[in-house]
Structures are given as C-alpha cells and as structure tokens.
A and B are shown apart, each in its own frame.
Chain A
Amino acid sequence: MKGWARLPVYSVSQITRYLKDVLEADALLRDLWVRGEVSNLSHSAAGHYYFTLKDATNQIRCVMFRPALGGENLVDGGAVAAHGRVSLYEVRGDLQLYVDLVQPEGVGERHLELERLRVKLEAEGLFQESRKRPLPEFPKRIGVATSPFGSVWYDIQNIIQRRFPLVELALAPTPVQGDGAAAGIVDAIEAMNREGGLDVVILARGGGSLEELWPFNEEAVARAIYSSRAPVVSAVGHETDFTIADMVADSRAPTPSAAAELVVPDSEELGKRILFHRRNLFQQVSGNLAARSQELDQTVYRMQRQAPDVPSWRQRIDDLSNAYRRALESYLVMRGERIKALESRLASLSPNSVLARGYAVVQRQDDSELVTSVSQVASGDDLQISVKDGIFPARAFS
C-alpha cells in the first residue's frame, strides 16, 4: 500500500498530453494506411468528415478535415483505405485517425502508395503549371536519359535524324527497369545537370507493366526531374500509362517517339516556311519595284505634257512659211502687172507716138540739146532730126 502512495498523481490534462506525445513520436503511427469499413459517417457544415473505421471485431474513430482528398469515397458500410496519422483528441480523450486521403478499398498497395506520393508532391507544388518551362523552338543540344539498349534510343535517334538533324544528342545511359533504375535515372539527370548546356532533356522508356514502370513513380526520380536545369519531356510507356515522372516533367509525351517529335521542329515544315519567306521577300520587292515603275511612268507622262510640242511648232512654222511664200508670190505677180501697166502708160507718153502723128524732134548735133526755140540755132549748125521711123541729119541756113 505504501508503494501506491509514492506514485505521483497526474492531472487528466497531463496524461492526455503525454499520450498525445507518445503517439505522435511513433514512426508507424505518424504515416500509415488503415483499411476498414466506414460507419457512423457524418459530414459537418464546415466540410469535415467524422466516421468510424471497423473490421469484424474492432474499430477506431476517424476525422478528416477539409481539404483532404477522397471524401467522395466515404459511404456508410463502404470498404476504404484511409491514409493519415494516429493521435489523441485531448478534449475527449479519444484516440483518432486523422485522415488526409481516402481511397476505395480493393486498390492495390502500389496504387495506394502512388496516390499518397502524388498528393504529397502536389502539395509541395512539384506539379504546378506555372513552373512548367516552355520547350525551345530550335534546340541545339538534347539530353536523352534512357537505356542505351533497345528500340527507344534507336527510335529517338531516327526521328531526330529525319526531322531536324541540326542537333547534338547527348545520351545519359541508365537502366529503366528493375532495382537500380530509380538510382540510375537520378544519376543520369544529375550527369546532364553537370554537363550543362543542354536545351531540353528527354526521359524515356518503352511500354511495360505497372511494376516495370515503377521507377518512374519513385519520389527520388520525381525530385531529380524537378531539379533538372533543362526542361524535361517525359515519355514513359504508352499513352495510357501515367506516372509521377509525367506529372513533374515540363512536358509529357505519350510515347518516346512522340517526345522526339515534340522537342525538334520538322525540317520539311521549316523548308516550307523558308520558301514562304522567300516568296514573300520577292513579292515585297517586286511590288515595290512595280509601284516605283508606275510612279516613274506617271511622272514621265506629266513631264511630256508640260514639254513644248516640237512637231506641232515645226508644222506651224511650215504653214507660216508656205503662207509667206504664197503671199510673196502673189505680191510679185501683182507688182509685175503694175509694171506692165506703167510701161504701157509710159509708152503712150513716149515722144515716138507724137512723131508717129507727123511731128519731128530737133536736136543739136554737138550737144544733143533739144531745140525748142529759134534762138538755139545759128546758121550752119548741124542738127539731128528724129521722125517716126528714124533719124536724119540736117543743117541750118539763113
């Protein structure tokens, strides 16, 4: 009885506090999946779920606070797997499972684990769209993390050789299935980070079972992809396979061949674009030339309209000179006729016509002076007498 008395006495709060600490220090209880049947489900106005998980004989109280995932999987009597941690609700002294994720039961353990990792990495922001980097349009160096054996590496080389051979492919060899695969992929991505200068990285493997693709769902691989210096294109398995690696990668391709097509442009398409540019260049310049040539034509036309019309002036000069010549000719003709008229008038006034009527003209022989008076003539002077038909000499006497 004495021993009893020596034991310390605790308050309820001290004990609940202690229990809570013990529970929360336990590694198993901190992070675990519990499967069971849902009962006593209630959904609070605040969006939290309260329920009990039970099996044939036992049960545990559960609470799931908003915004945990998978609340839609909760129905009374339904079989689920709940992920969370075990702790104590001190106010009531209730031991509870604090649930953050509920999956319908019947899903394999791998899927449960996959879902758990997905939720965790998503919460850390590894899948955020805003973090996804764009792929370069014209990469120069492309890193490829895959197995050096098998068709994936071969297909990638072939497609890039055909589409855009202006690049260097840097292979980082890694196993892509089996125990060493996750570590190998991490090592390959680290090798590419060390190498540097890569514009884009392809992480690829061919199709396989969920188990074969498993390395691409490992947390270490997800974090390595996240740490890659170059944007990562994941191409794991077939189109329907979706791995954690696909979610972290900057781009996801449905197959390795599709990844090769995604990272480089198609040189045939580029050739068409170059041809289009050349035609455009030609059209721009010939259009420019045509416009200039039309401008020039118009300017020349305007200039020609402004310039003197030489042929018409020449014709006008011709016309004028013809008119002048005609005027001159008719003037000359007219003059000629007047001269004839004057001549005939002159003829009529000539002494000859008087002589014809019987008069005679007397001139002195020595000085041809016309004799019009007797005083001009002395006896013995030689005279010249003109009559109608000739001249005869005569001598004065008295």
Chain B
Amino acid sequence: MGRIIIHQDRCSGCGECVSTCPFGAISLVSNRAQVNEQCVLCQACLSVCPTEAISLEEKKKDQPLVNGFSYEGVWVFGEQRQGIISEVVYELMGEGRRLADKLGTHLWVIVLGSGLQSEAEHLLHYGADRVCLVDHPDLADFHDESYTRVVSYLIEKYRPEIVLSGATAIGRSFIPRVAVRLKAGLTADCTALDVDLDQRLLLQTRPAFGGNIMATIITPVHRPQMATVRPKVMKKAAYSPLPKGRVQIETVPEDLIVPQTRIVSLVKDLTERVNLADADIIVAGGRGVGGAENFKLLYDLANVLGAAVGASRAAVDAGWIPYSHQVGQTGKTVCPKLYIACGISGAIQHLVGMQSSETIVAINKDSQAPIFSVADYGLVGNLFEIIPSLTKKLQEERLKF
C-alpha cells in the first residue's frame, strides 16, 4: 500500500498540514508532524507543506487485478418503477456511452422487471449495444435481496469493468449489497466520471463533507469498478431513430429470486409534488415564509413553473410543511436546473443540500443573508410582494400564447 511520509529532517513543525488534513490524521509530536491511522492517502497535505517535507510513497504500479480475471464493458443498471424506466437511466447511458467509447468497449443496460420487452427495445435507441433483460413476475417490484442476487449473478457471468447505477433510493439501497457480494469497490453519489486510459481506471468524483470538498476516488485492483451517480448531473443520451444493438433475454436460476421482504402497500405522494429528486425546478421556502398558510404563495408560483416545493429545516420544524420536502443536510440533496430560495437565510446545512443546483435564485429581505453568496440572481426584498409578482407575470406570459 502507498503511504504518506513526513521527512522529519525537513519538517519545521509549522502545523500547516495538521489544520489542512480533512481527516484529522496529522498531529504534532515533539514539534514534528506525524501521520496517524486516520490517513486515507487523500494527499491534501502534500501541497500545503512550505518545506516540502511530505511525500507519498507510491504504491507499486500495474498491480494485477485481485482475482486475475479480465473484465470488459460498461454497464448501466436500468432502474424502473412500475414498469417505467427512470430518467436517470438515460443520463447514465449518455455518460456510459462516452466512457465506453473512450475505452473502446461496449455499453450494456441491465433491466430487471416484468413485461418490459418494449421498454427494453426502446432503450436501444439511446446508444446501448445490448439490453440485458431479466423478465420475471417477482422482479416487477424492487426487492433488495432478489435484485442483489440477480445483478451479482450477471456481473459474475459477464464481468463488466464498470457498473453504474443511479444514486436513487433503489440504487443506493441495493448496489452496496452487490458490491459486498462481489468484493468490489463502490463510490457513492458521483457527480463526475472519467477514465484514466493508461490503467483503465474509472475516476469517480463526488462531493463529501456536505459538498464542502470534492474527492476523486479510484478502485485500483478490484473489479468491477462500481459507482452510483447523482440524478440530473449527467447529460441524457440522445435518441437515435436507428437502434444498433439488441435485447438479450436472460434467464437466471429461480432460487436467486426469493424476496426476504414483502411490500404491503405503496403510497404515492405525487399530489404533494414532493418528488424533489426528479424536479427540474424547485421553489423552496424557509422561516421567512412565516406560516403554513403562506406556503400557498409558493405553491402558486410552483404551479405556473411546473415546479416542486422544497423547504428549509426551520420551515419543517415549525410544522408548516412535511419533512419529505426538507432540503439539506438532514433532508434531501437536490440539483435541479433552477432553485428558487424564498425566505431562506442560507445556513450551511441548507446550502449543502442545494448548492449544486444549476441556477440559484434567492429572495430575501436581508441583503447580507449568506444565501446570496451562492445565488446567481439575488432578489433583495419582501417575498410577500416579489413572489406574487413573479406568479402573476408568468401567468400573463402564458396567456399570450
């Protein structure tokens, strides 16, 4: 394994590295820096040392893969809900195609479900070389154990080098089990992917520490290299009228499909427009909204925009809106195309949940509110005047057509 070395003769004991280390892995012992067991080799300390006393003892290059097999191809997990392929699958196909082309290899999509032949055919129009379909009545609904076993079985059979899944409730629930079963590395909630062609390594970039830092993760010797990818970050694959690949029906051993959990019922919350993860536009309210009844203003604006409604913790804690709407550290992480923050101060715990949104609009009467530091458009003023104005003007524009 590689490790961080501190050349004691060059160390001046200034402590720069100590305060820089994100993992608290460096301390000063008799005025010299010392690395402890917390170190994960992130190398953040290397660049800050004024005396260049820190170096990385490199791991031997070209280590053989753990089990000696060869692995090839990029796979995308074709998540579906109630028989409909999720949006994120098309995004992953766009990205998967790009990576596969770079590596000079193929792109497969793996679909588990029941009666999905035509959905599978449809995916061929988005750049898949093959859609691998496991059609079984007991796979119609998502079950962690069955999905884990079936996907693991297919991976062991075909040995892809890269497996991507959406960082959705489903993907983040069962993909970790697949990774354990295969002893593969898994990187969570990635927002950027690339490949190092020399070593055919997947470079997986993701936010950590609530979006305060970005980390690039690699899986040097374990295969496949697995990642869940945040929805709405990758560009959707383009539709092509001429499909080039084919659908392959896979039958798997029956004993793989024995759900250990049973779904009693499924409660949709769509009327509440709470599907923050899928929304292109989110109108969010905070303490400044002032009360449950005032959220109507936000719903009105959301309606003309086709947006979902989000909230800060302060608004949720006050009981103005249910928790399922909460954005932030203890709520949901969202990255819509447009996020409109109304009466939200922009506490770091809120920012970490929405700061990767494409465009941010903030409406706040306090021009010093921290939300303005992340806003592309900062509207300083009273939300009770501004929001109705926006709604009215947008409605008027609608009528013009």
User: Are A and B co-members of a single complex?
Assistant: no
Q: Which residues in B have some Cβ–Cβ distance to A below 8 Å?
A: none
